[in-house]
Amino acid sequence: MEIQGYTMPDDLYYEENHYWIRVEGDILVMGMDDFAQQMAGEIVFVQLPFEGKKLKKGKKFAQVESGKWLGKIFAPVNGELIESNEELEASATLINQDCYGDGWMYKIQPTDMAEVDALIHGPEAVEKWLLADIEKYKKD
């Protein structure tokens, strides 16, 4: 689905700070969405926490930087970080080039998969949320 120039795949779940979640079996793959990567500009650094790190829903567990911006990454669910995309260490701009593919950031083993249902999902919900944020962040 495209909303005002931002690509937002329908099959993903979204965390309110513009990170996407894709369910792959009992694992969650997480990355930065198109809106966030366009707003941030060229990504220059992504913190890759150690595997096995316990994640608490809503708590910061990493950060990402562009030349003009420093962002916090919050856990979308309770669980454990099981993998970080080590390709981002050498080339953080993968996020800008392919935020929903090669630019994925983390894989999470959720404690309770049902927590995913609390994330933003479905075309109507995603559109309403994104349009509100486009309005909020619009430059005058």
Residue 50 domain-assigned (yes or no): yes
Tokens for 7? 């690509």
**Secondary structure letter of residue 50 according to DSSP:** P
| Count of domains forming the chain | 1
Look at the alpha carbons of 112, 125, 13, 31 in this order and tell me if their dihedral is positive or negative: negative
Residue 38 domain-assigned (yes or no): yes
Residue 138 domain-assigned (yes or no): no
The average pLDDT across 46-57 equals 96
Tokens for 56? 């608490």
pLDDT at 41 over 70: yes
Percent of the chain with pLDDT over 90: 95
Domain limits for position 24: 2-133
Place of tokens 């701009």: 93
Cα separation of 128 and 132, whole Å? 6
Over residues 106-122, the pLDDT tens digits come to 999 999 999 999 999 99
Read off the amino acid at residue 58: G
**Model pLDDT, residue 140:** 47
Residue 60 domain-assigned (yes or no): yes
Over residues 6-35, the pLDDT tens digits come to 999 999 999 999 999 999 999 999 999 999
Confidence of residue 4 (pLDDT cuts 50, 70, 90): very high
Over residues 64-80, the pLDDT tens digits come to 999 888 999 999 999 99
The enclosing domain of 30 has a CATH number of 2.40.50.100
Residue 139 domain-assigned (yes or no): no
